[in-house]
Structure 1
Amino acid sequence: MRGSYRNYTPEQIEKLFDLVIEENYTAKDATLVTGINVCTAQNYIKTYNNDIQRRLPGTYDKPRERPHSELTNEYSKFLLDHIEKNPTATLDELKVMVCEEFEGLKIPILAIYRHLVSNCHFILKKSKKLQQQEILIE
Protein backbone atom coordinates (compact mmCIF):
# COMPACT_ATOMS: atom_id res chain seq x y z
CA MET A 1 0.00 0.00 0.00
CA ARG A 2 1.31 3.41 -0.96
CA GLY A 3 2.22 5.84 1.81
CA SER A 4 1.55 9.54 1.89
CA TYR A 5 3.17 11.78 -0.71
CA ARG A 6 6.08 13.91 0.38
CA ASN A 7 7.51 17.06 -1.09
CA TYR A 8 11.26 17.34 -1.05
CA THR A 9 13.07 20.65 -1.07
CA PRO A 10 15.43 21.54 -3.90
CA GLU A 11 18.24 21.47 -1.34
CA GLN A 12 17.46 17.83 -0.46
CA ILE A 13 17.40 16.84 -4.13
CA GLU A 14 20.61 18.72 -4.84
CA LYS A 15 22.31 17.09 -1.84
CA LEU A 16 21.17 13.67 -3.09
CA PHE A 17 22.81 14.26 -6.47
CA ASP A 18 25.97 15.67 -4.90
CA LEU A 19 26.34 12.52 -2.84
CA VAL A 20 25.56 10.15 -5.72
CA ILE A 21 27.54 11.89 -8.48
CA GLU A 22 30.47 13.52 -6.71
CA GLU A 23 30.99 11.28 -3.69
CA ASN A 24 29.95 7.97 -5.34
CA TYR A 25 27.29 7.11 -2.77
CA THR A 26 24.68 4.54 -3.70
CA ALA A 27 21.10 5.80 -3.91
CA LYS A 28 20.25 3.94 -0.71
CA ASP A 29 23.16 5.43 1.24
CA ALA A 30 22.37 8.93 -0.04
CA THR A 31 18.75 8.62 1.09
CA LEU A 32 19.84 7.94 4.66
CA VAL A 33 21.66 11.29 4.66
CA THR A 34 19.03 13.36 2.81
CA GLY A 35 15.81 11.84 4.18
CA ILE A 36 14.41 11.10 0.73
CA ASN A 37 12.53 7.83 0.19
CA VAL A 38 14.69 5.14 -1.46
CA CYS A 39 12.30 4.50 -4.37
CA THR A 40 11.90 8.22 -4.97
CA ALA A 41 15.67 8.74 -4.97
CA GLN A 42 16.18 5.89 -7.42
CA ASN A 43 13.48 7.37 -9.65
CA TYR A 44 15.15 10.82 -9.50
CA ILE A 45 18.50 9.32 -10.47
CA LYS A 46 16.97 7.29 -13.30
CA THR A 47 15.18 10.40 -14.61
CA TYR A 48 18.42 12.38 -14.42
CA ASN A 49 20.38 9.70 -16.28
CA ASN A 50 17.74 9.43 -19.03
CA ASP A 51 17.50 13.21 -19.54
CA ILE A 52 19.69 14.43 -22.40
CA GLN A 53 20.12 17.87 -20.83
CA ARG A 54 20.94 16.38 -17.40
CA ARG A 55 18.45 18.56 -15.51
CA LEU A 56 17.64 17.81 -11.90
CA PRO A 57 14.13 16.43 -11.37
CA GLY A 58 11.68 18.95 -10.00
CA THR A 59 13.68 21.95 -11.22
CA TYR A 60 11.90 22.37 -14.56
CA ASP A 61 8.40 22.13 -15.98
CA LYS A 62 7.61 19.71 -18.75
CA PRO A 63 6.59 21.61 -21.89
CA ARG A 64 2.91 21.26 -22.68
CA GLU A 65 1.79 22.20 -26.13
CA ARG A 66 -1.53 21.76 -27.79
CA PRO A 67 -1.47 20.78 -31.42
CA HIS A 68 -2.14 23.67 -33.74
CA SER A 69 -5.20 23.56 -35.93
CA GLU A 70 -4.60 22.38 -39.45
CA LEU A 71 -7.46 24.50 -40.75
CA THR A 72 -6.38 27.68 -42.53
CA ASN A 73 -8.24 30.58 -44.14
CA GLU A 74 -8.58 28.53 -47.32
CA TYR A 75 -10.47 25.86 -45.41
CA SER A 76 -12.56 28.53 -43.67
CA LYS A 77 -13.62 30.00 -47.00
CA PHE A 78 -14.55 26.55 -48.30
CA LEU A 79 -16.57 25.75 -45.16
CA LEU A 80 -18.40 29.08 -45.27
CA ASP A 81 -19.26 28.65 -48.96
CA HIS A 82 -20.55 25.14 -48.32
CA ILE A 83 -22.63 26.26 -45.33
CA GLU A 84 -24.17 29.11 -47.34
CA LYS A 85 -25.25 26.63 -50.01
CA ASN A 86 -26.46 24.08 -47.47
CA PRO A 87 -27.32 25.70 -44.10
CA THR A 88 -28.54 22.41 -42.62
CA ALA A 89 -25.23 20.62 -43.16
CA THR A 90 -23.99 18.55 -40.25
CA LEU A 91 -20.44 18.44 -38.95
CA ASP A 92 -20.09 14.94 -40.40
CA GLU A 93 -21.01 16.24 -43.85
CA LEU A 94 -18.63 19.18 -43.50
CA LYS A 95 -15.79 16.85 -42.53
CA VAL A 96 -16.42 14.62 -45.54
CA MET A 97 -16.61 17.61 -47.90
CA VAL A 98 -13.39 19.17 -46.57
CA CYS A 99 -11.48 15.87 -46.71
CA GLU A 100 -12.68 15.25 -50.28
CA GLU A 101 -11.79 18.77 -51.42
CA PHE A 102 -8.37 18.86 -49.76
CA GLU A 103 -6.69 15.50 -50.25
CA GLY A 104 -4.49 14.23 -47.45
CA LEU A 105 -6.25 16.23 -44.75
CA LYS A 106 -7.19 14.16 -41.72
CA ILE A 107 -9.01 16.16 -39.10
CA PRO A 108 -11.49 15.23 -36.37
CA ILE A 109 -15.01 16.60 -36.25
CA LEU A 110 -14.23 18.40 -32.99
CA ALA A 111 -11.50 20.41 -34.74
CA ILE A 112 -13.99 21.52 -37.41
CA TYR A 113 -16.47 22.48 -34.68
CA ARG A 114 -13.86 24.50 -32.77
CA HIS A 115 -12.68 26.18 -35.96
CA LEU A 116 -16.21 27.22 -36.93
CA VAL A 117 -16.96 28.57 -33.46
CA SER A 118 -13.67 30.36 -32.76
CA ASN A 119 -12.45 31.49 -36.19
CA CYS A 120 -15.66 31.79 -38.20
CA HIS A 121 -17.80 32.98 -35.25
CA PHE A 122 -20.57 30.46 -35.80
CA ILE A 123 -23.09 29.38 -33.23
CA LEU A 124 -24.02 25.76 -33.73
CA LYS A 125 -27.07 24.11 -32.26
CA LYS A 126 -27.71 20.44 -31.73
CA SER A 127 -30.51 19.23 -33.91
CA LYS A 128 -33.04 16.74 -32.69
CA LYS A 129 -34.15 13.82 -34.75
CA LEU A 130 -37.65 14.45 -36.00
CA GLN A 131 -39.94 11.55 -35.47
CA GLN A 132 -42.46 10.92 -38.14
CA GLN A 133 -45.94 10.95 -36.79
CA GLU A 134 -48.27 8.45 -38.23
CA ILE A 135 -51.42 9.92 -39.61
CA LEU A 136 -54.34 7.69 -38.95
CA ILE A 137 -57.12 7.94 -41.42
CA GLU A 138 -60.36 6.71 -40.01
Structure 2
Amino acid sequence: MRTSPNRLVAVIFGAVYLVVGLVGFAVTGGVSFLATNGGMLLGIFMVNPLHNVAHLLIGAALVIAGFVSTRAAKTTNTVIGAAYLLLGIAGFFLVGTAANILALNTFDQFLHLASAILLLAFGLGVERSGSRLAMQ
Protein backbone atom coordinates (compact mmCIF):
# COMPACT_ATOMS: atom_id res chain seq x y z
CA MET A 1 0.00 0.00 0.00
CA ARG A 2 2.91 2.36 0.59
CA THR A 3 3.82 2.37 -3.10
CA SER A 4 0.32 3.13 -4.35
CA PRO A 5 -0.97 6.68 -4.06
CA ASN A 6 -4.49 5.43 -4.87
CA ARG A 7 -4.49 2.92 -2.04
CA LEU A 8 -3.17 5.50 0.42
CA VAL A 9 -5.70 8.14 -0.64
CA ALA A 10 -8.55 5.61 -0.49
CA VAL A 11 -7.65 4.58 3.06
CA ILE A 12 -7.13 8.16 4.27
CA PHE A 13 -10.32 9.51 2.67
CA GLY A 14 -12.21 6.43 3.82
CA ALA A 15 -11.06 6.84 7.41
CA VAL A 16 -12.02 10.52 7.37
CA TYR A 17 -15.48 9.76 5.97
CA LEU A 18 -16.00 7.01 8.56
CA VAL A 19 -15.14 9.44 11.37
CA VAL A 20 -17.35 12.15 9.85
CA GLY A 21 -20.22 9.67 9.57
CA LEU A 22 -19.88 8.61 13.19
CA VAL A 23 -19.42 12.12 14.57
CA GLY A 24 -22.37 13.28 12.48
CA PHE A 25 -24.71 11.17 14.62
CA ALA A 26 -23.66 13.26 17.65
CA VAL A 27 -25.19 16.37 16.06
CA THR A 28 -28.29 14.80 14.54
CA GLY A 29 -30.09 13.67 17.66
CA GLY A 30 -33.78 14.42 17.20
CA VAL A 31 -33.35 15.10 13.48
CA SER A 32 -35.59 13.10 11.16
CA PHE A 33 -33.79 10.54 8.95
CA LEU A 34 -34.70 12.43 5.76
CA ALA A 35 -34.89 15.95 7.21
CA THR A 36 -34.07 18.71 4.73
CA ASN A 37 -32.50 20.69 7.59
CA GLY A 38 -30.13 18.80 9.84
CA GLY A 39 -27.61 19.28 12.59
CA MET A 40 -24.47 21.31 12.06
CA LEU A 41 -21.20 19.38 11.93
CA LEU A 42 -18.18 21.57 12.81
CA GLY A 43 -20.61 24.49 12.81
CA ILE A 44 -20.77 24.74 8.99
CA PHE A 45 -21.71 21.39 7.41
CA MET A 46 -25.35 20.35 7.62
CA VAL A 47 -26.04 16.63 8.06
CA ASN A 48 -28.98 14.39 8.79
CA PRO A 49 -28.95 10.66 9.66
CA LEU A 50 -29.18 9.63 5.97
CA HIS A 51 -26.19 11.86 5.18
CA ASN A 52 -24.28 10.19 8.04
CA VAL A 53 -25.11 6.71 6.73
CA ALA A 54 -23.94 7.75 3.27
CA HIS A 55 -20.62 8.93 4.76
CA LEU A 56 -20.22 5.60 6.58
CA LEU A 57 -20.91 3.55 3.43
CA ILE A 58 -18.57 5.66 1.30
CA GLY A 59 -15.87 5.55 3.96
CA ALA A 60 -16.16 1.77 4.28
CA ALA A 61 -15.98 1.31 0.49
CA LEU A 62 -12.85 3.44 0.27
CA VAL A 63 -11.07 1.76 3.18
CA ILE A 64 -11.88 -1.74 1.92
CA ALA A 65 -10.77 -0.88 -1.62
CA GLY A 66 -7.56 0.66 -0.30
CA PHE A 67 -6.68 -2.57 1.50
CA VAL A 68 -7.71 -4.89 -1.34
CA SER A 69 -5.62 -3.74 -4.30
CA THR A 70 -4.43 -0.82 -6.38
CA ARG A 71 -6.99 -1.61 -9.08
CA ALA A 72 -9.82 -1.66 -6.52
CA ALA A 73 -8.61 1.63 -5.03
CA LYS A 74 -8.34 3.31 -8.46
CA THR A 75 -11.81 2.14 -9.45
CA THR A 76 -13.38 3.13 -6.13
CA ASN A 77 -11.65 6.51 -6.08
CA THR A 78 -12.90 7.16 -9.62
CA VAL A 79 -16.49 6.02 -9.03
CA ILE A 80 -16.87 7.86 -5.73
CA GLY A 81 -15.12 10.92 -7.17
CA ALA A 82 -17.58 10.96 -10.09
CA ALA A 83 -20.53 10.54 -7.72
CA TYR A 84 -19.28 13.41 -5.56
CA LEU A 85 -18.84 15.58 -8.65
CA LEU A 86 -22.47 14.97 -9.62
CA LEU A 87 -23.66 15.48 -6.05
CA GLY A 88 -21.60 18.65 -5.68
CA ILE A 89 -23.14 20.16 -8.80
CA ALA A 90 -26.71 18.89 -8.25
CA GLY A 91 -26.58 19.87 -4.60
CA PHE A 92 -26.54 23.57 -5.46
CA PHE A 93 -29.98 23.09 -7.03
CA LEU A 94 -31.32 20.96 -4.15
CA VAL A 95 -30.57 23.35 -1.28
CA GLY A 96 -33.79 24.86 0.02
CA THR A 97 -36.06 22.34 -1.72
CA ALA A 98 -38.05 19.33 -0.52
CA ALA A 99 -35.73 17.13 -2.63
CA ASN A 100 -32.80 17.92 -0.31
CA ILE A 101 -33.06 14.58 1.55
CA LEU A 102 -29.37 14.71 2.53
CA ALA A 103 -29.76 18.10 4.27
CA LEU A 104 -27.05 19.62 2.06
CA ASN A 105 -25.88 23.20 2.37
CA THR A 106 -23.48 25.32 0.34
CA PHE A 107 -20.46 24.35 2.45
CA ASP A 108 -21.27 20.68 1.78
CA GLN A 109 -21.26 21.34 -1.97
CA PHE A 110 -17.79 22.84 -1.94
CA LEU A 111 -16.44 20.01 0.22
CA HIS A 112 -18.02 17.41 -2.08
CA LEU A 113 -16.52 19.13 -5.12
CA ALA A 114 -13.07 19.25 -3.49
CA SER A 115 -13.34 15.55 -2.62
CA ALA A 116 -14.43 14.83 -6.20
CA ILE A 117 -11.45 16.64 -7.69
CA LEU A 118 -8.94 14.86 -5.47
CA LEU A 119 -10.49 11.39 -5.81
CA LEU A 120 -10.82 11.74 -9.59
CA ALA A 121 -7.27 13.09 -9.92
CA PHE A 122 -5.88 10.02 -8.16
CA GLY A 123 -8.36 7.53 -9.62
CA LEU A 124 -7.79 8.64 -13.20
CA GLY A 125 -4.06 9.23 -12.73
CA VAL A 126 -1.34 6.76 -13.57
CA GLU A 127 0.04 4.54 -10.83
CA ARG A 128 3.79 4.28 -10.57
CA SER A 129 5.63 1.53 -8.76
CA GLY A 130 9.37 1.73 -9.05
CA SER A 131 10.27 2.15 -12.73
CA ARG A 132 7.18 0.47 -14.21
CA LEU A 133 3.54 1.39 -14.39
CA ALA A 134 1.39 -0.59 -11.98
CA MET A 135 -2.25 -1.30 -12.69
CA GLN A 136 -2.83 -4.08 -10.15
Question: TM-score scaled to structure 2, two decimals?
Answer: 0.22
Kindly indicate which of the two structures has a greater share of residues assigned to strand: 2
Q: Max radius of gyration: which structure?
A: 1
Kindly indicate which of the two structures has a greater share of residues assigned to helix: 2
Q: Which structure would you say has the larger RCO, counting Cα contacts within 8 Å and 6 or more residues apart? A: 2
Question: TM-score scaled to structure 1, two decimals?
Answer: 0.22
